[in-house]
């Protein structure tokens, strides 16, 4: 049974909870532009290699016999090893690197990536709106439009090899790898971008020749599902800061059908007879009925429609469109101006 | 009970006295003229500190008996330029050492060389390279290791180089 540790299990309690869901996504988005411009930082082969190197140093830190097992802090290529060992600080008298140590080998070929988040692209690498950044040139406010192309997915394959003499060191690295990749993937933040890494398994290449120097070599294979962003492809251009609107109109007068005029005749139709006149004629452009209302200083009157006699002292006159109504009167005995008043009803 | 049976092979023209004479002449040449020497660091298997599970020696856990210098015929193989597995890291590894030693020498010194013992061989006045025995040549019945088929008279030991993190001598 393990002995309880002297220090408390949880030495400090966090004052605020870590962000989740949308706030966490926003936090990750802010990581991309932290300590830089509004644009995301470039992410190219060397950046990803460096990121993986840091990942191994951080996650696969192994202590054996009280000493850290060193990690060769460069990615081994076919060219640099010979020169590098000249300055290596844990080489032996033969200038050979002395086990135990960890080293990282990158497969030279980098294939098109399988990261489903970025592998399905719109063709032709069109530029996408990324951000609108406000500007001020001393006189007026404006904005810059930042556009970037969609990142290109790329799979980087690495092998992390441990070369050592003791099984305990092999066990420790194996434990670290299995713990780190318990859910198959791990993540590394490289230039603010979250990059997934998956474990593809491992192989044993231990040297077990009877009459040779014996050591363990175990290689763990990883795939970094990265993507490439080249800042040289970014576009920044000024947005619209002032608009001038022009409307073009047709100078030709449109031909419109004249609206039919609604009758605006007064409700009362008055036949007045100034200067001792005894006849008056009105033209009607509509159809209506005239109803006798009142008469002033008129003894009797005769109605003619289109010169045709209609009747005397009629109280209702039926008028058709285009009719001329003439009313002759016999003036009364009074000295006032004679007048006949009819009310009309449109039909 | 161990029986002593006289060897009568080649009896008409060769016998024990001839055998001893030849061995004496050979030792005179090897020790007196050539004088190649190695130092044997025989592991003290009672005091060595090992891991309980794997039996691997822990750091500075190798304990050895007092070193013994002995004469032998030494052949050091050429170093090998090779990669460590498929790690693309090339090493210029020193070659194995092959030690041919008279059985009488070992008998006179009261030593034996076993698997896992360490042998030091001075490359120069101030540099000694250490080897671990990977083949202690314990079987000497083959004709090569006998004097014309009469009796075995030497053994061949092969040792592989070790690094300072494994063994650093005294």
SS3 B93: strand
Proportion of chain A in helix, strand, coil states, percent, rounded to 5: 15, 40, 45
Residues of B within 8 A of A163 (CB-CB) are 84-85, 87
- A98·B160 Cβ contact <8 A: no
Helix (H) or strand (E) holding A164: strand A152-164
Residue that wins the pLDDT comparison between A89 and B6: B6
C-alpha A266/C-alpha A286 separation (Å) is 13
Residues of chain B contacting residue A159, judged by C-beta atoms under 8 Å apart: 87
Is the four-CA dihedral A244, A245, A250, A255 of positive or negative sign? negative
Of A208, A217, A64, give the one whose Cα is nearest residue B58.
A64
| 3-class secondary-structure state, position B81 | strand
pLDDT recorded at residue A80? 56
| Cis, peptide link before residue A100, omega less than 30° from 0 | yes
Per-residue CA distances from B22 to B9, B15, B19, B89, B108 (Å): 16, 11, 5, 49, 16
Give strand pairing partners of A207: A215
Torsion on CA atoms A283, A286, A291, A296, rounded to nearest 10 = -30
Instruction: Mention every residue, 6+ apart, whose C-beta is less than 8 A from residue A3.
Output: none
**Beta-sheet strands, E only, within B1-153:** 37-41, 68-71, 73-76, 80-83, 90-93, 97-102, 118-124, 127-135
Out of B54, B94, B158, whose CB is closest to A94? Answer: B94
Enumerate chain B positions whose Cβ falls within 8 A of a Cβ in A: 51, 54, 56, 58-59, 84-94, 96, 127, 134-135, 158, 160-166
Distance CA B110, CA B100 (A): 17
β pairing state of B90-93 and A193-204: unpaired
Please state the pTM of the whole predicted model: 0.67
pLDDT of residue B1: 58
SS3 A344: strand
Tens digit of each residue's pLDDT (9 = 90 or more) over B34-52? 999 999 999 998 888 888 8
What proportions of chain B, in percent to the nearest 5, are helix, strand and coil?
15, 35, 50
Positions in chain A short of pLDDT 50: none
Specify which residues B37 forms β-bridges with: B71
- Rounded to the nearest integer, the mean pLDDT of chain B is 90
Task: Return left, alpha or beta for B116; rule: phi > 0 is left, psi -120 to 50 is alpha, else beta.
Answer: left
Q: In chain A, positions 175-214, which contact chain B (CB-CB < 8 Å)?
A: 205, 207, 210-214
Task: Please classify residue B22 by burial: count the beta carbons closer than 10 Å to its beta carbon, then call 0-12 exposed, 13-18 middle and 19+ buried.
Answer: middle
Which residues, including other chains, have CB under 8 Å from residue A230's CB and lie 6 or more apart?
Answer: A42, A44
What are the structural domain ranges in chain A?
Answer: 21-122+150-233, 268-346
For B46-73, how does the pLDDT look when each residue is reduced to its tens digit (9 = 90+)? 888 888 888 888 777 889 999 999 999 9
> Measured at the alpha carbon of residue A66, what is the angle toward residues A60 and A72, in degrees to the nearest 5?
40
What's the confidence (pLDDT) of residue B25?
95
pLDDT at residue A76, rounded to an integer: 75
Q: Which residue of A has its CA nearest to B89?
A: A81
pLDDT of B24: 94
Give the residue with greater pLDDT, A184 vs B21: B21
Q: Are B99 and B159 in contact (CB under 8 A)?
A: yes
Q: Decide if A212 and B134 are in contact by the 8 Å CB cutoff.
A: yes
Backbone angle region of B169, left / alpha / beta, with phi > 0 → left and psi within -120 to 50 → alpha: left
Task: Give the separation between CA A264 and CA A105, rounded to whole angstroms.
Answer: 99
CB of A159 within 8 Å of a chain B CB? The answer is yes
The mean pLDDT of B73-96, rounded to a whole number, is 85
Tokens 């231990």, located at residue: A206
Domain map (residue ranges) of chain B: 16-161
Which residues from A are below 8 Å from B58, CB to CB? 65
Region B109-123 average pLDDT? 93
Task: Tell me how far the alpha carbon of residue A224 is from its chain's centroid.
Answer: 29
Taking CA atoms, what residue in A is nearest to B96? Answer: A212
Provide the 10 A C-beta neighbour count for residue B82: 11
Interchain proximity A66–B59, CB inside 8 Å: yes
Predicted confidence at residue B53, as pLDDT, reads: 86
Which CATH number applies to A268-346?
Answer: 2.60.120
Domain A21-122+150-233: which CATH number of 3.40.109, 1.10.10, 3.30.2000, 3.30.420: 3.30.2000
- How confident is the model at residue A107, as a pLDDT? 87
Using a 10 angstrom Cβ sphere, with 0-12 exposed, 13-18 middle and 19 or more buried, the burial of residue A21 is: exposed
Distance from CA of A202 to the nearest CA of B (A): 13
User: Residue B21's pLDDT is what?
Assistant: 94
CA A112 → CA A152, A153, A154, B67, distances in Å?
A: 8, 6, 5, 61
| Eight-state DSSP code of residue B29 | I
> Which residues of chain A does B99 touch, with a Cβ-Cβ cutoff of 8 Å?
none
- From the CA of A44, how many Å to the nearest CA of chain B? 23
* A212 → chain B, closest CA residue: B160
ipTM of the complex: 0.76
Rounded mean pLDDT, B91-116: 93
Length of chain A: 347
Beta-sheet pairing, A71-76 with A101-106: parallel
Buried-state track A312-324, b at ≥16 Cβ within 10 A, e below 16: eeeeebebeeebe
Angle at A192 between CA A190 and CA A197, to 5 degrees: 40
């Amino acid at each position: 049974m393990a002995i309880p540790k002297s220090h408390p299990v949880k030495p400090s309690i966090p004052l605020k909870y870590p962000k989740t869901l949308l706030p966490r996504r926003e936090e990750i988005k802010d990581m991309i532009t932290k300590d830089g411009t509004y644009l995301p930082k470039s992410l190219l082969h060397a950046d990803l290699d460096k990121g993986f190197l840091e990942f191994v140093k951080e996650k696969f830190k192994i202590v054996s016999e009280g000493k850290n097992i060193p990690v060769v802090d460069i990615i081994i290529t076919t060219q640099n090893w010979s020169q590098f060992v000249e300055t290596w600080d844990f080489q032996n008298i033969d200038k050979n690197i002395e086990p135990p140590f960890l080293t990282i080998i990158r497969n030279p070929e980098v294939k098109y990536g399988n990261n489903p988040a970025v592998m399905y692209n719109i063709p032709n690498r069109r530029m996408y709106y990324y951000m609108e950044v406000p500007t001020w040139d001393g006189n007026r406010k404006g904005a810059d439009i930042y556009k970037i192309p969609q990142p290109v997915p790329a799979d980087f394959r690495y092998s992390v090899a441990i070369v050592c003499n003791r099984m305990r060191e092999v066990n420790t690295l194996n434990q670290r790898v299995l713990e780190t990749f318990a859910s198959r993937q791990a993540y590394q933040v490289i230039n603010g971008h979250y990059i997934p890494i998956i474990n593809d398994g491992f192989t044993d290449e231990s040297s077990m020749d009877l009459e040779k120097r014996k050591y363990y070599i175990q290689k763990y294979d990883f795939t970094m599902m990265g993507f490439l962003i080249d800042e040289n492809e970014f576009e920044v251009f000024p947005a619209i800061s002032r608009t001038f609107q022009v409307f073009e109109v047709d100078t030709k007068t449109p031909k419109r059908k004249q609206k039919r005029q609604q009758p605006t005749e007064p409700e009362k139709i008055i036949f007045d007879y100034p200067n001792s006149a005894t006849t008056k004629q009105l033209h009607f452009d509509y159809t209506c009925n005239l109803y006798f209302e009142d008469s002033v200083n008129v003894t009797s009157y005769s109605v003619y429609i289109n010169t045709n006699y209609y009747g005397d002292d009629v109280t209702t006159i039926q008028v058709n469109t285009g009719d001329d109504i003439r009313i002759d009167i016999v003036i009364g005995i009074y000295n006032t101006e004679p007048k006949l008043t009819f009310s009309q009803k449109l039909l | 009970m161990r029986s002593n049976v006289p060897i009568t092979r080649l009896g008409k023209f060769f016998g024990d006295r001839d055998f001893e004479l030849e061995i004496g002449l050979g030792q005179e040449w090897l020790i007196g003229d050539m004088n190649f020497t190695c130092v044997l660091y025989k592991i003290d298997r009672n005091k060595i500190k090992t891991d309980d599970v794997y039996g691997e020696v822990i750091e500075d856990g190798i304990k050895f008996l007092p070193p013994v210098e002995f004469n032998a015929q030494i052949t050091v193989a050429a170093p090998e330029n090779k990669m460590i597995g498929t790690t693309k890291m090339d090493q210029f590894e020193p070659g194995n050492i092959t030690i041919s030693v008279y059985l009488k020498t070992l008998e006179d010194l009261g030593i034996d060389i076993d698997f896992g013992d360490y042998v030091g061989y001075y490359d120069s006045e101030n540099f000694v390279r250490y080897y671990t025995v990977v083949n202690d040549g314990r079987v000497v019945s083959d004709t090569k290791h006998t004097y014309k088929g009469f009796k075995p008279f030497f053994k061949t030991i092969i040792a592989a180089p070790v690094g300072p993190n494994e063994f650093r001598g005294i």
